[in-house]
């Protein structure tokens, strides 16, 4: 009996994944601990410095600075807190609007609301899965005015203070285009590089282009500190202020507890940093493994019609954090059947996030036309992406 693509494609995707990942159950992205993790954790415990003061916190910040090229790094408890503080340092105030992609993880929007500001959702492009700089420029021309060096939303009267592009699944966004938009419209740019440690745009590490950038080291990221994040900046004053705000705004003194403003208990504990130092030592190997995994998936899916594997943008070097399938638009109605078939086969897959403007807390937020983000949300599938899937074959 003739079988349609609706019958064939889910099975083809399962077999393509199996040809790369093998027959065992495969998680979407799990951490690997194959370096000095146990050694450094024991050293940390033996020192008794397990909270936010200790040599591993300082070392982790220095090692991250060296790896990313950012002049200053401040380690914090997670990527959301990093973005919260970065927004405050960029001058975001209560009642401001902040441009963020509708296609992102909810932490991007939540960090904006922590500042009592309003997320303003913008569209993405298919080549990078990140903010569409050309479409954004045209939108701002039509919907904003410049007054006293500020970008004003013509319809709400609010200041659009910042733009937060996110490097989706590790693929660098069109940074040059977005920097030009930010400059031309007097908007601060902060990079949400939570997913892109080890990704480069035209030879420079992501998170180092805007006035500030942020990273995440959650358990599912390329390297993990359990929970953790970091603020990146080339501005010494901003770095100093970031460290002050994330250490409860406590003034240095041998015994007095004096705080000069509302601060946040956001500093990364030494235990987490010890894990991070060991993970960072193995990062080049993990990145090589993830690139090898991409190449094997690319070969496997080259034979599957109606679907393609996302590749790094031109002149960029992606960390390939999550390997991502993009269904042809005419096959978007098959997304859920593919998700079911793969998960039933023991291969953890997932769709992209629910678009931000569709979530209950953010339904009333301002937004531009989001047609591409809406298309992408129906067509994207993340597949097993752990570096460990190929580590034994390298």
Note the pLDDT tens digit of each residue in 307-317: 999 999 999 99
Q: Are residues 268 and 332 in the same domain?
A: no
Provide the pLDDT for residue 394: 57
Q: Are residues 249 and 129 in the same domain?
A: yes
Sequence-ordered list of residues with C-beta below 8 angstroms from that of 240, at least 6 positions apart, any chain: none
Q: Give the least confident one: 1-5, 45-49, 131-135.
A: 1-5
Q: Taking 90 as the threshold, does the pLDDT of residue 6 lie above it?
A: no
Task: Over range 256-263, report the average pLDDT.
Answer: 95
What pLDDT digit, counting tens, does each position of 21-35 carry? 999 999 999 999 999
Q: What is the extent of the structural domain holding 203?
A: 37-281
Q: Are residues 77 and 143 in the same domain?
A: yes
Provide the pLDDT for residue 390: 87
Task: Over range 163-187, report the average pLDDT.
Answer: 98
Task: Over range 242-250, report the average pLDDT.
Answer: 96
Q: How many domains does the chain have?
A: 2
Sequence-ordered list of residues with C-beta below 8 angstroms from that of 305, at least 6 positions apart, any chain: 5
Provide the pLDDT for residue 123: 98
The mean pLDDT of the chain is 96
Distances from the Cα of 352 to the Cα of 129, 163, 171, 290, 374, angstroms: 11, 21, 14, 20, 11
Q: Taking 80 as the threshold, does the pLDDT of residue 7 lie above it?
A: no
Q: Which of 340, 306, 311 is nearest to 324 (CA)?
A: 311
Q: Which of 314, 292, 318, 361 is nearest to 114 (CA)?
A: 361
Confidence tier at 245 by pLDDT (50, 70, 90): very high
Distances from the Cα of 9 to the Cα of 60, 336, 368, angstroms: 45, 12, 34
Q: Taking 70 as the threshold, does the pLDDT of residue 131 lie above it?
A: yes
Confidence tier at 203 by pLDDT (50, 70, 90): very high
Q: Are residues 277 and 290 in the same domain?
A: no
Q: Are residues 374 and 388 in the same domain?
A: yes
Q: Any idea what the CATH number is for the domain that residue 376 is in? A: 3.90.1150.10
Q: Are residues 343 and 369 in the same domain?
A: yes
pTM listed for this prediction: 0.95
Q: Any idea what the CATH number is for the domain that residue 185 is in? A: 3.40.640.10
Provide the pLDDT for residue 1: 39
Task: Over range 323-347, report the average pLDDT.
Answer: 96
Query: Tokens 């503080």 — which residue?
Result: 85
Confidence tier at 3 by pLDDT (50, 70, 90): low
Show the tokens assigned to 174. 């069109």
Q: What is the CA radius of gyration of the chain?
A: 22
Confidence tier at 52 by pLDDT (50, 70, 90): confident
% residues pLDDT > 70 (the chain): 97
Angle between helices 236-245 and 79-89 (to 10 degrees): 120
Cα angle 149-151-156, degrees, rounded to a multiple of 5: 135
Q: Are residues 122 and 270 in the same domain?
A: yes
Show the tokens assigned to 2. 């003739």
CA 377/CA 394 separation, integer angstroms: 34
What pLDDT digit, counting tens, does each position of 68-121 carry? 999 999 999 999 999 999 999 999 999 999 999 999 999 999 999 999 999 999
Q: Are residues 247 and 132 in the same domain?
A: yes
Q: Are residues 269 and 287 in the same domain?
A: no
Q: Which of 251, 281, 311 is the last residue of a domain?
A: 281
Q: Residue 228: which region, alpha, beta or left (left: phi > 0; alpha: psi -120 to 50)?
A: left
Q: How far apart are the first and last CA of the chain?
A: 42
Q: Are residues 109 and 18 in the same domain?
A: no
Confidence tier at 2 by pLDDT (50, 70, 90): very low
Q: Which of 231, 256, 281 is the last residue of a domain?
A: 281
- Sheet containing 204-205: order of strands: 204-205, 200-201, 316-317
Cα dihedral sign, 285-290-294-299? positive
Q: Are residues 227 and 275 in the same domain?
A: yes
Provide the pLDDT for residue 53: 86
Q: Are residues 159 and 243 in the same domain?
A: yes
Q: Which of 265, 281, 297 is the last residue of a domain?
A: 281
């Amino acid at each position: 009996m003739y079988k349609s693509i609706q019958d064939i494609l889910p099975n083809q995707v399962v077999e393509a994944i199996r040809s790369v990942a093998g027959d065992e159950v495969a998680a979407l992205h799990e951490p690997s601990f194959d370096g000095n993790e146990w050694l450094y954790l024991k050293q940390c415990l033996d020192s008794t410095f397990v909270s936010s003061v200790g040599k591993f916190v300082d070392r982790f910040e220095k090692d991250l600075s060296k790896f990313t090229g950012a002049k200053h790094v401040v380690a914090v408890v997670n990527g959301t807190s990093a973005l919260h503080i970065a927004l405050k340092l960029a001058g975001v105030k209560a009642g401001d609007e902040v441009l963020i992609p509708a296609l992102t993880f909810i932490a991007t929007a939540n960090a904006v609301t922590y500042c009592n500001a309003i997320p303003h959702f913008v569209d993405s492009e298919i080549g990078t899965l990140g903010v569409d700089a050309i479409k954004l420029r045209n939108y701002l021309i039509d919907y904003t005015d410049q007054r006293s060096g500020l970008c004003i939303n013509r319809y709400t009267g609010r200041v659009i203070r910042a733009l937060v592009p996110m490097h989706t699944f590790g693929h660098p966004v069109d940074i040059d285009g977005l920097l030009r938009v930010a400059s031309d419209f007097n908007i601060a740019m902060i990079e949400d590089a939570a997913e892109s440690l080890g990704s480069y745009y035209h030879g420079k590490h992501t998170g180092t282009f805007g006035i500030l950038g942020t990273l995440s080291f959650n358990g599912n990221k390329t390297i993990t500190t359990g929970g953790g994040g970091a603020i990146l900046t080339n501005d010494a004053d901003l770095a100093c202020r970031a460290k002050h705000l994330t250490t409860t705004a406590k003034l240095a003194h041998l015994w007095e507890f004096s705080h000069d403003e509302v601060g946040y208990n956001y500093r990364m504990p030494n235990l987490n940093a010890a894990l991070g130092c060991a993970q960072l030592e193995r990062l080049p190997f993990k990145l090589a493994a993830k690139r090898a995994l991409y190449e094997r998936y690319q070969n496997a899916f080259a034979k599957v019609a109606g679907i393609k594997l996302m590749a790094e943008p031109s002149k960029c070097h992606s960390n390939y954090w999550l390997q991502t399938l993009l269904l042809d638009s005419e096959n978007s109605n098959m997304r859920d059947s593919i998700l079911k078939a793969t998960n039933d086969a023991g291969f953890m897959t997932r769709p992209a996030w629910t678009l931000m403007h569709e979530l209950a807390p953010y339904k009333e937020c301002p937004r531009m036309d989001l047609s591409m983000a809406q298309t992408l949300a129906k067509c994207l599938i993340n597949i097993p992406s752990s570096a460990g899937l190929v580590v034994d074959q390298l």
